[in-house]
Structure 1
Amino acid sequence: MISESVLNFGYTLLDKVTGFSPLAVYSTYTSVVRQGLVPDFVLRLAIRALCRQRLREIDYGSFEANHAAKMQWIAKSRARETIADLTEKANEQHYEVPSCLGHHSRRIAALLILNMLQVSTDFILSCLGPCAKYSACLYPTGKETLEEAEVLMMEMYCEKAKLRDGQYVLDLGCGWGSLSLYLAQKYPRSSIIGLSNSSTQKLYIDAQAKKRGLNNIKIVTADVNIIDFVDCEQFDRILSIEVFLFSSMFEHMKNYDMLLRRISTWLKPSQYKGEDEDPDPSLLFVHIFCHRNMPYNFEEEDGWMAQMFFSGGTMPSHDLFLYYQTDLTLLSSSYLSGTHYSRTLEHWLQRQDANAGRGLKELEEDAEKKGKKGEGAKAFYRFRVFYMACSELFAYDGGQEWGVGHYVFKRKD
């Protein structure tokens, strides 16, 4: 059993040197973490303590009080005047960075900006699997390789969304195109539209599609607050898959009613009228991370994680979509243990460590080009802490507190 004093030491250390708590400030980083000298076991103990703290913060003492807090959160979300918050901030943190288009033809990924440092694309790609899927993968036995887990999760999307060749499909919040490219290759007679709010992502995906000889994919760049597909044919399927923890449309949503109302107009209306039920209605499939009970927002005063990675982000509760069915009907929902996410993150961490020499060199060279000598090593170790923090969060209590939600909706006609 780990003593309370060890836990307190780990908590205090992480608080002081990483800013990963509501009480810390990002500028308090010290050379200890910058040089990667804090043992992983200490960081992990501290992260677990912070997970317990978060659970205390969102527990209002009784089912009655928790439900009232959830209803208040929902009421506030419905009062929002915009669909998503801080899309520009999210871009600064994750998207709008130069991409190396000449290498890694099979790999795509998002970048993070840490302390205003644009991190090397090659570094991020070296952490990911061959599909470069920057989101939770699927480990049904727990023994899968990262490559196997990437494909298994995308195949699960295809099954749950009832995809087939010849459909008109929208990848809503397509990130760096892992799913869009996968679907374009799997379903050659389908037309795949990817929506991103990043011009960098569009350039990268276009280059990948050209290399793979795919001509059935198109990437559209637009702000979700204002986009409308008035000039497009309505879609047979719409999918929104979170890109790791950041770029999914739904993780940055603040007004679900407004978003789902807009999406409902993008889905094809049913051809069946009256009492006849459409055997193949147009569908929306959503993959998001979630807490099992309570929704909450990431506030910048929450510390380093919120400031650097989740500005404007939301942790929805698994049941949240039950309360947003004005324009779409929820047909099914399922919960995947957070252990799938945790294993994905541990694989990324292992790959980062395995490529540490090259990764550190790439980050340092990238930092020097930008006049930020020494920042590369800091970014390298912050990524390690980030992967560990997210892994511990989703592994908490065997993946039963935080995990992945899958949802299938149909349009109301």
Structure 2
Amino acid sequence: MSATTVTSAGTAAEDTADEATRPGETNQHYDLDPEIFGLFLDPLRKYSAGLYRTDGITLAQAQVAKLHWVAEELALTEGARLLDVGCGWGSLILFMAREYAARVTGISPAGRQHEFIAARAAEFNVTDRVTTAVGRFEDVDLPARSFDAVTMLGSIVHMPDVDLAVRRARSMLRRGGRYYVSETCFRNGAARDEFDQRAGTEFVRNSIFGWGDMRPLSELVRAVEDAGFSVDDVEDLTEDYRRTIEDWLVRVADSAAAIDELRPGMAAELTRYLEVANAGWGFTTKHYALVCRNGR
């Protein structure tokens, strides 16, 4: 038995083929062999910032700490219904299903990720709590007001219409439900104007992600407020993400031969991407988490 997987906006194969040609979609990066990610990410394959608030903490410990922190920010309880938009390799939904007995739904356009999540859900004996949907958040058919929490960890950057994405997230939430969104942002509008078209930014956007817009924090706050959310908390995770990427770079270097055996040249591509990302922290970019509440 596997976790329930549904398709939307075409089959998984169709979505994967289209990703590189549609603005606002990730490209083939997320449909690479999952073993590549296993060689440089933590055991959960969490592909976003950890939480480094304890001296000597490891990458794996930082990622677990971050997931517990997100659960606390969402006030997650047993049986809570959680929607994770851009669920990646399932780190968040599988963790919340295992540790908090939440009923979780993950959305991603990358077909390989759903196969991986289904296998891990069976391994962890949480198939009855885990559902995934293949497709874009804008297109997946979900019942309104059916979730207690919605999360977007590093996924709203790939959505061209931020206002639509945030309004749709709110439409999924019951009254009092919580919305967590964390994202890398240009530190202000001037930095965006100056650095958005630089070579390093274009490399990450086109060679890694296919498309992305690192909006300043002010745009995200405006979007959530205009959608009707109340902002409960804004957390600066810039230093945590810098530490996360440093740990990823070490793991890429240690596993370079194995990574290149799976995909020649991938270790160098990952190294360039991660070095570009780390070069901008505090100068051109920041990383923030917003916790919002659907108060009405």
TM score, norm. by length of structure 2? 0.82
What SS does structure 2 have at the residue aligned with 1:382? helix
Partner of 1:193: 105
Matches within 5 A, 1:113-128: 120-128=33-41
Corresponding position: 1:153 with 2:66: yes
CA distance in 2, matches of 1:159, 1:127: 27
What SS does structure 2 have at the residue aligned with 1:384? helix
Partner of 2:275: 388
Aligned counterpart for 1:287 among listed residues 182, 186, 195 = 182
Shift of 1:412: 5.2
Shift of 1:146: 0.7
Cα RMSD, aligned residues only: 2.6
Matches within 5 A, 1:10-409: 87=22, 90-96=25-31, 111=32, 120-141=33-54, 143-188=56-101, 190-214=102-126, 215-230=128-143, 234-242=146-154, 248=155, 250-268=156-174, 270=175, 281-294=176-189, 296=192, 303-324=202-223, 325-360=225-260, 362-363=261-262, 366=263, 376=264, 378-394=265-281, 396=282, 401-409=284-292
Shift of 1:314: 0.8
What SS does structure 1 have at the residue aligned with 2:120? helix
Shift of 1:357: 3.5
Contact 1:341 1:403 in 2 (8 A): no
Contact 1:253 1:313 in 2 (8 A): yes
CA distance in 2, matches of 1:121, 1:266: 30
Higher relative contact order, chain-length normalized (CA < 8 Å, sep 6+): 2
Shift of 1:134: 1.0
Q: What is the percent sequence identity of the aligned residues? A: 24
User: Structure 1 residues 304 and 233 mapped into 2: Cα distance closer, same or farther (>3 Å)?
Assistant: closer
CA distance in 2, matches of 1:138, 1:129: 13
Cα distance per residue 1:136-159 (max 9 Å; x no partner): 111114531111111111111111
User: Structure 1 residues 137 and 235 mapped into 2: Cα distance closer, same or farther (>3 Å)?
Assistant: same
Unaligned 5+ segments in structure 1 are 1-83, 97-110, 112-119, 243-247, 271-280, 367-375
Corresponding position: 1:410 with 2:296: no
Cα distance per residue 1:64-123 (max 9 Å; x no partner): xxxxxxxxxxxxxxxxxxxx9965784433233xxxxxxxxxxxxxx4xxxxxxxx4323
Shift of 1:263: 2.1
Cα distance per residue 1:341-367 (max 9 Å; x no partner): 11111111111222234333x23xx5x
CA distance in 2, matches of 1:158, 1:251: 22
Count of matched residue pairs = 272
Contact 1:291 1:315 in 2 (8 A): yes
CA distance in 2, matches of 1:326, 1:90: 24
TM score, norm. by length of structure 1? 0.60
CA distance in 2, matches of 1:410, 1:300: 36
What SS does structure 1 have at the residue aligned with 2:229? strand
User: Structure 1 residues 200 and 89 mapped into 2: Cα distance closer, same or farther (>3 Å)?
Assistant: farther
Shift of 1:381: 1.6
Partner of 1:278: none
What SS does structure 2 have at the residue aligned with 1:135? coil
Cα distance per residue 1:379-405 (max 9 Å; x no partner): 2222222222212222x45xxx52221
User: Structure 1 residues 336 and 282 mapped into 2: Cα distance closer, same or farther (>3 Å)?
Assistant: same
Counterpart amino acid of residue 384 in structure 1: T
CA distance in 2, matches of 1:316, 1:88: 15
CA distance in 1, matches of 2:162, 2:270: 31
Unaligned 5+ segments in structure 2 are 1-18
CA distance in 2, matches of 1:164, 1:131: 21
CA distance in 1, matches of 2:119, 2:28: 23
Cα distance per residue 1:287-313 (max 9 Å; x no partner): 111233228495597642232024320
Contact 1:238 1:285 in 2 (8 A): yes
Contact 1:300 1:306 in 2 (8 A): no
Partner of 2:9: none
CA distance in 2, matches of 1:89, 1:263: 16
Structure in which a larger fraction of residues adopt strand = 2
User: Structure 1 residues 260 and 88 mapped into 2: Cα distance closer, same or farther (>3 Å)?
Assistant: closer
Contact 1:300 1:307 in 2 (8 A): no
